[in-house]
Chains A and B, each alone.
Chain A
Amino acid sequence: MSLQVKNLRVYYQTLRGDVQALEGATFTVADREIMGLAGESGCGKTTLGHSLIRLTPPMRFVEGSVTLNNQELPIWDMERMNVFRFKEISIIPQYAMNAMNPTRKIGKMTEELLRSRQVDFRATLPELKRRLDLVKLSHDVLNMYPIELSGGMKQRMVMVLSTLLDPSLVIADEITSALDVSSQKAVAEMLVEFRNQGCCKSAIVITHDISILYQIADSIMVMYAGQLAEKASTGVIIHTPRHPYTKLLISSLPKVGVKHAEKRLTGIPGSPPLLLNPPVGCRFRERCPAALDQCVEEPPFIEIEKDHFVACWKVFEENAQA
C-alpha cells in the first residue's frame, strides 16, 4: 500500500466561518497505480491534492491521517513535511506556465532546486538528460529561459523537474487542461511512461476531464462538494457507475459521434451547495433524482464490490435487495 488516507478533513478558514472543503476522505492508492480524481470545480479535488503536500493557511487541518509507505506524513506541520516534499511526494502544479522562475535559466534553476535538497547537480545531470529525452525535449532547454518554451514544453519540463528525485507519489494537478488536444495526448502518455519507467511509484491525476482519465488512469475517484462519491477501476466508473452523480456526470459528456439533433444530452440541474454551511447528510441530495428519506444522514464510503467504493444510500439499498 503506497498511500493510505484515513478520514481526512481539511477546512478553509474565512471570516465567515469554516468552508468545509474536504469532509472525511478515506481511500488508498496502491503501488504503481495511477488514480484519477475527478469532479466539478469547487468539489475539493485540488484541496485534497494540495493538503497531501503543502497544507498552508487559509487551509486548516482538522483531523485524519495520511500514511505513505507505512510512514505517517505530518501534513499539518509545514517544517516537518520538508523532509518528504519533492523526495517522497511531489506535485506537478496546475499552470506550469508560471511554475518556473522567469529570471533563471532552467538548468541553473534545477541546480538551485537540487541544492536545496542537498543533491549534487553534476551527479544527477545524466539522469536529467535521459529524462529530457524521455519527454522529447532537447538538452538545450537547460540553457534557456522559461519564456523561450511553449506551453506544452514547459509542462513537460515541469514534469521532469517534479519527478527528478523518484518520488513515491506524484500529484498531477490539471496538467493537461491548458494544452491542445495533441499536446494533451503526448503529456498524458508521458505520465504513464514515467510510471512504467519507475520515475514515480504512483500518481494522483486531478482533472475535470474524465475522458483523459479513461485513457490513462487505472482507477477513478469522483468527488462531489467535498465528499467522496465513488471510487472504482476506470472501466467500472465509465461503463457501470453506481452513484447517481457519477451516472449523470458521465452521461452529460458529449462524445465524438453524438449530434444534438439526434440525441440531446442533458446537464445536471441545480448547482452544488455552498460549502460554508453545507447541508447535513449526502450533499448531492438536492440535485439527486433518486434521493431517499434516508439521505439526510451522511452515507458512509464503503466497498460494495471488490475495489468499488460508493457513498450512496440508494446503492446500498439496491445491493441489499440483490
Chain B
Amino acid sequence: MLKLDNISKVYKVGTFGGKELRAVSNVSFNVKDGEVVSLIGESGSGKTTIGKMILRLIPISSGTISFNGIDISTLSGSALKQYYRNVQGVFQDPFSSYNPIFKADRVFRIIREEFFPEIEGREWNNKVENSLKAVGLNPGDVLDKFPHQLSGGQLQRFLIARALLLDIQFLVADEIISMLDASTRIDVLNLLADLKSRGLSILFITHDLALGYYISERAVMLYQGCVVETGSTERIYDHPLHPYTKMLMASVPRLDKKWEEIEVELKAKHSELTGGCVYYARCPVADKDGGCARDRPTLIEVERDHFVACIRCRDQRNSVSD
C-alpha cells in the first residue's frame, strides 16, 4: 500500500544554512494492507521526520514515497485532497493539537467544510456520532466541550475519530500514547488494534518497545536516520542481532525481569557522519581496525524477513555457518 523507496531528508542548519544535517538517509520499507508497522528509535533518529514526509508536511530531499502505486510528491489539487482522504496522521501531544479558544468538535466541522460540503446536517451528525462510538467515546459526554474539559485520552481518541470520518486506509500514529496515563494508554492501543482488524494500515511511531510489540507485526529500528534492523516483531524482539537493537532491548524497563548488566553507552552529540557505520561511536562490538569505521553497512537478509545492517553480524553469521 505505502512504499518508501530510498528516501532521505537533509535539513539545512547553521548560519545561512551552511551546514547540512541528514535526518533520514536512504530509508526503504513498505506497509501492506491491514498491517501495523512500528518505527522504533531514540529521539533524533528521524522517526517523526519520516512520518511528516509521508503526510507531505515537509518535502522529501531524495527518493520516492508511493501510495497505491502513485508517487505522492507529484500530487496537487484534488488529487492531494483525495490523498488526505486516505491518509491521515495523529500526533503526540493531544493538548496542542486543539485551539483552546474553540470547542473541541471544531476539528469535525473543519473536516465537513473541507471534504463533505454536500452532506446534510442530520446525516453529518450521525456520521460524527458513529465515528465517536467507534473510538469508544460517548457522544453526549464529549461533544460541545472545550479542550480543557476533556482528558488527554479523550482528546487523543477525538483526533482518531476525526481521521475515521474520512475513509482512511492509512494512519500515521506518531507517539500517540506516550502522553497518556497507563490506564487510558491501553484503551487507545486496543482501539488501534481494532481498527487494524477492520483493514486499516498503521505506521506506529514509538520509542516504547513494549507498545511496539503489543500491536505490530513488523518493526523497523532506526538509528540516526538509518534503518539498522527490520523484520517481524517476534524475530527482532527474540533474536535482536544489531548491537543497537540489543542495547535498546536491554535498557527497556520491564516488569518481569530486572535490568540486565549490559553497559549502556550514553548517546553522544549528533556526530559528524563519516562514511562508516552510524552506530560506530557507541557500538561495544565495533571492529576498530575493520570495516566498521570505513564502510556504511547495507541491510542484508540474515534469515527470512529479518534484515540487519551490521558488518559484525554478517561476520558472526558466516562463522556460525562455517
Q: B37 to chain A: closest CB distance in Å? A: 14
Cβ of B79 < 8 Å from any Cβ of A? no
Contact A259 B253 (CB under 8 A): no
Residues of chain B within 8 A of A258, CB atoms compared:
210, 213-214
Contact B181 A41 (CB under 8 A): yes
Expressed in whole angstroms, the Cα–Cα distance for A254 and B190 within the complex equals 11
Q: Could you mark each residue 248-271 of chain A with 1 if its beta carbon is under 8 Å from any beta carbon of chain B, else 0?
A: 111011111111100011111001
Contact B237 A248 (CB under 8 A): no
Decide yes or no: A181 and B190 within 8 Å by CB, A215-B258, A257-B237, A267-B183 being known contacts. no
Contact A265 B252 (CB under 8 A): no
Cβ of B288 < 8 Å from any Cβ of A? no
Cβ of B193 < 8 Å from any Cβ of A? yes
Cβ of B209 < 8 Å from any Cβ of A? yes
Cβ of A29 < 8 Å from any Cβ of B? no
Cβ of B316 < 8 Å from any Cβ of A? no
Cβ of B215 < 8 Å from any Cβ of A? yes
Binds B, one of A16-24, A76-84, A124-132, A183-191: A183-191
Binds B, one of A53-61, A112-120, A204-212: A204-212
Residues of chain A within 8 A of B253, CB atoms compared:
181, 184-185, 188, 209, 211-212, 214-215
Cβ of B122 < 8 Å from any Cβ of A? no
Expressed in whole angstroms, the Cα–Cα distance for A248 and B253 within the complex equals 19
Say whether chain B's binding surface is mostly helix, strand, loop, or mixed: helix
Expressed in whole angstroms, the Cα–Cα distance for A271 and B208 within the complex equals 24
Cβ of A136 < 8 Å from any Cβ of B? yes
Expressed in whole angstroms, the Cα–Cα distance for A259 and B183 within the complex equals 17
Contact B182 A181 (CB under 8 A): no
Cβ of A40 < 8 Å from any Cβ of B? yes
Cβ of A150 < 8 Å from any Cβ of B? yes
Contact A238 B255 (CB under 8 A): yes
Q: Which of B183, B211, B267 contacts A182 (CB 8 A)?
A: B267
Contact B210 A254 (CB under 8 A): yes
Decide yes or no: A186 and B266 within 8 Å by CB, A238-B255, A257-B213 being known contacts. yes
Q: A253 to chain B: closest CB distance in Å? A: 6
Cβ of B248 < 8 Å from any Cβ of A? yes
Residues of chain B within 8 A of A257, CB atoms compared:
213, 237, 256
Q: Which residues of A contact B (CB under 8 A)?
A: 40-41, 136, 150-152, 180-186, 188-189, 208-212, 214-215, 238, 248-250, 252-260, 264-268, 271
| 13 residue pairs bridging A and B, Cβ less than 8 Å apart | A40-B182, A150-B267, A181-B208, A181-B209, A211-B253, A211-B254, A252-B182, A255-B210, A258-B214, A265-B186, A267-B183, A267-B187, A267-B190
- Sample of 10 further A-B pairs with CB below 8 A, known A214-B258, A266-B190: A152-B266, A182-B267, A186-B266, A211-B255, A212-B253, A215-B253, A254-B186, A254-B210, A259-B215, A266-B187
